[in-house]
Chain A
Amino acid sequence: MLRVNNLRTQYGPIVALRDVSIEVGDGQIVAVLGANGAGKTTLLRSISGVVRPAAGVIDYDGHHLQGLSAEKIVRLGLVQVPEGRQIFTQMTVLENLRLGAYTRRDSAGIAADLERMYSYFPVLERRRNQIAGTLSGGEQQMLAIARALMARPRMLLLDEPSLGLAPLIVRDIFQNIRAISEQEKVTVLLVEQDASAALSIADYAYVLETGRVVLADRAQELRQNEAVRRSYLGY
């Protein structure tokens, strides 16, 4: 579904991604692992159109994404849950969810999806008129994911969903992601520092180091890989 070829992105003179190539198949959950500064967020920003790559091709279902504006890419069904969640902290939960559905016009479908989001994340229904900034970290993450899902995406990009969250919450969130991916038939590209959480739900994974892909394999292979175990899994 998504094929990134030889992507290069730089911020001025600083090259964040060099010659990165990644492939995500239909219905898969693919993880991109790496330490801080490896370029993971830049990769997602390049795909989502927030940042324009200097070179390379991003092929999504036949569309070339590089050079397109972020708003157009969302309308193609590719939605990102950004790093740090980036919810609208001064608006209510419901307003946040409605914004997720901004690109859609079918009010019946939107209402149905709203109900479905509440079924995935009951806490959101309880707090639907509450100001989003007052939610806990985990609840905000759920809101961010639900907001992205309100656009009925075919592919979801998740940027460090575990950031700033307690381990138990992280486990919950990741199980949610897996469940949603299967039920909503959404392909997931997941970028994470928390390698064990990511590998627990991924089908395939890449490892990024200082802007380059250094490893690519099926998730269960990577879990056994010496180097990965020592550097990223801690044992």
Chain B
Amino acid sequence: MAAILFWLLVAASVAYIAWTLLRVPQPAWRRAFARGGRILVAAAAIFILVPFIGRTASSQLRPALIAAVVATAAGILLLPRRYHRPVGLLCTAIFLVVVPFFMPSYQNKVLTDYTIFAMAALSLNLLMGMSGEVSLGHGALLAIGGYTTAILVHQHHVSFYVTVLIAALMAAIVGVLLGIPATRLTGPYLAIATLGLAISIPEIGKWVKVVKWTGGPQGINLLADKAMPKVPSFLKTLPGGHKMTIDEYLYFLVLFAAVLMGIVAWNFRRSRTGRAVVALRDSEPAAKVAGINPGPYKVLIFTLSAFIAGIAGSFLAAEIQSVHPDTYSLDLSIQILAMVVVGGLDSILGSALGAIVIRWLVLNKTSLPAPTSLPTIGKHLPQLFAGFPTYGAGVYYGLALILVMILMPFGVAGALGRIANYVQSKLPFGKQTPAPAAAPAASAQADLATTASENPTTIEEVKPR
């Protein structure tokens, strides 16, 4: 079954390439194909990935996941649009709080990992979604957060909780340093500069001159450190007799921090300052004319973004129980970028969804559908795809980045919103206007990411210079 679908996907890709090369001029065909392409990719994603998700989730988690999916679908179908957000949030909150107690320790760590990266993705989404700047530097910010915590805990025996705050502040300082020149740099130049930062971070971590602090190529090991968090005595035994494990405790700590940061981001987005930042993104000249001075706002958004990234980095160090220069490579920065893009720009939900999707890809890369597992191709080209299980994840999220930008620039969160709107419009509830809080996110994404395939006009105009 998977083989048939795989080959269907390959055939569809070939057809798409052939079509592009033949340059079908009719705009109607192009629109239809774009729409069809999206549906095809979505279908492929569902049919190929769902069995694998099923296989990788533990037996305890599977019923919970199925229940979650069914509940989401039911919610979209049965509830009027304006209840989607609050009900969804409530159900998600219950799910997130209850689930860890039914899972083995390993799955708890995975959940913690997802949550940490949701925070990291949120921090980058603040920057990219709200201000439209591309930054590859968030791996570096995570590194700063992680190393600050590691150094303080390991060498100075500062309590972990204090180090989280310090790490966030350190990262925020770097954010300010990034933000100040960023006001003068246009898009590609900022991306180039942050690319440089991302590539150099592992190097600095291994630099001979700072080994005293950074621990050099081996990094710093925090496994047995006294200052690391432990389950506080008043939480050791919960009602019902369950003994809370350190993994569960860490998970709840991270969850708390992530939710807090999510609320901060949400409030910021709706505040006057937040709207000023978005105005700058949409049209800098117009915003300037309205009296918004770009400089301070850009620095502010960089600082806030860096602050949250620092917290995420700190928790990441706690979760992995070490800091190591190679963890914070360029690959990590691109991963976080992929999370933001695939999840949906300028969307808090999108950050979380994107983080889950990409981290799931990375953590389960050895069981990803690889051509070697399909008998027809495996026999002919065994050497070609032998390394796929180890390295395949990168190909998938590279392709994901490309496909999302071409076919679905509003990301998964945006797609969910559109599906919800579409389904609602067909139901007897009547045409509901979407809740006002949802509209800015949807329209912002749509504004930010219109592509040629989205363009509804019938005119082909040469781009003026």
- Residue numbers of A with Cβ under 8 A of B are 9-12, 50-52, 54, 67, 70
Contacts and interface: CB of A to CB of B under 8 A. Distances in A.
A81 B290 CA distance: 39
A54 B458 CA distance: 7
A67 B458 contact: no
Query: Could you say which interface size class chain B belongs to?
Result: under 10
Contacts of A11: 457, 459, 461
Nearest to A46: B459
Interface of B: 25, 456-462
B25 A12 contact: no
A10 B458 contact: yes
A54 B459 CA distance: 8
A51 B458 CA distance: 9
A51 B460 contact: yes
A11 B456 CA distance: 11
A47 to B, nearest CB: 14
21 contacts: A9-B459, A10-B457, A10-B458, A10-B459, A11-B457, A11-B459, A11-B461, A12-B456, A12-B457, A12-B459, A50-B461, A50-B462, A51-B459, A51-B460, A51-B461, A52-B458, A52-B459, A52-B460, A54-B458, A67-B25, A70-B462
A51 B456 CA distance: 15
A70 B462 CA distance: 10
Contacts of B25: 67
A9 B456 CA distance: 15
Decide if the interface of chain A is mainly helix, strand, loop or mixed: loop
Contacts, number: 21
Contacts of A67: 25
Given A12-B457, A52-B458, A54-B458, 4 more contacts: A9-B459, A10-B457, A11-B457, A51-B461
A70 B461 CA distance: 11
A132 to B, nearest CB: 15
A54 B456 CA distance: 13
Nearest to A50: B462
Nearest to A55: B458
A54 B25 CA distance: 14
A12 B27 CA distance: 14
A10 B456 CA distance: 12
* B457, B458, B459, B462: most-surrounded residue (chain A CB, <10 A): B459
A51 B460 CA distance: 6
A12 B457 CA distance: 5
A161 to B, nearest CB: 20
A12 B450 CA distance: 15
A12 B25 CA distance: 18
Nearest to B457: A12
A4 to B, nearest CB: 17
In order of increasing CB-CB distance, the 3 nearest A-B pairs are A12-B457, A52-B460, A51-B459
Contacts of A70: 462
Contacts of A9: 459
Nearest to B462: A50
Contacts of A51: 459-461
A158 to B, nearest CB: 19
A67 B458 CA distance: 11
B25 to A, nearest CB: 7
